[in-house]
Amino acid sequence: MPASPNQITRPRSGHLPCARPHEGRTAVVTGAAHGIGRVYATTLAAGGAHVVVCDLVTAEETRDEIAAAGGAVSLVECDVSEPDSITALAERVSALGGADILVHNAGIYPLKPYDQIGFEEWRRVLSVNLDSMFLLAQAFLPHMRAQQWGRVIGIASAMVHTGAPMSLHYVASKGGLIGLVRSLATEVGADGVTVNAIAPGLVRSHGTSQGLHDELGLFEMVKHEQAIKRTGMPQDLAGAISFLASDAASFVTGQTLLVDGGLARA
């Protein structure tokens, strides 16, 4: 049976990497109902973390997958673009003892030429993808700094490095996130908290499989530009998340790790 929140013990930093590198930690994963976010959540749970699964919808399938494997999981519905919703999330997590790991995966990525993007849509994309990272950091960093251990991981994009078209607002939001990660890492590094990002390439997931990516032939186009000639899958990102969330990455901060099959290798 999964451990109850009151049974969770927190390991000291400095432990060597092990088969369950997140044992005793509480991890918050946003946008975890489907696709890539679900893989992040199940990966951290398999590593021993009690995972708080957050999404706009009730992520019952993610919860059931973690529970079926014997992991500890909690569900919270949350709109990461709304300050009050993040406050409520932080209160729920505080009742579990506070977050040790934050993986901010929630995001939106509409495809549209720059001259067809209205200001309201521009602001919506930046709110969901970038403002939310600021709000989440303010909500969860006090606990991490107080305990002198924490891992904050944002999800950027290789598109920042490739200058992909049809995504001006998305690329701008992810470029801003990379800057936020660098600056925030400087402010909290002395408190034992690392702040990093991973930058995936084009990954076939719940979201991209429902959009224009296939219609526009983007998967084939990107695959041929990569050094590794296959389409990225959510599982390809699991190792990077697990590493950055662990003690093994205690001297890595302010970085953006490209996990894109070598797309942005130039």
How far apart are the C-alpha atoms of 118 and 155, rounded to whole Å?
A: 24
Q: Directed axis angle between helix 132-147 and helix 83-94, to 10°?
A: 30
Is residue 135 a contact partner of residue 189, using CB atoms and an 8 Å limit? no
Q: Which of 40, 109, 114, 170 is catalytic?
A: 170
Per-residue pLDDT tens listing for the chain (266 residues): 444 433 343 444 444 456 899 999 999 999 999 999 999 999 999 999 999 999 999 899 999 999 999 999 999 999 999 999 999 999 999 999 999 999 999 999 888 999 999 999 999 999 999 999 999 999 999 999 999 999 999 999 999 998 888 899 999 999 999 999 999 999 999 999 999 999 998 887 666 556 655 555 576 777 888 899 998 899 999 999 999 999 999 999 999 999 999 998 75
Measure the CA–CA gap between 222 and 157, rounded to whole angstroms: 14
What's the rounded Cα separation, in Å, for the pair 258 and 266?
12
Active site residue 109: no
Q: Which CATH superfamily is domain 22-259 in?
A: NAD(P)-binding Rossmann-like Domain (3.40.50.720)
User: Roughly what angle, to the nearest 10 degrees, separates helices 35-46 and 60-68?
Assistant: 30
Confirm if 206 and 35 have CB atoms less than 8 A apart.
yes
**What are the structural domain ranges in the chain?**
22-259
pLDDT, position 12: 45
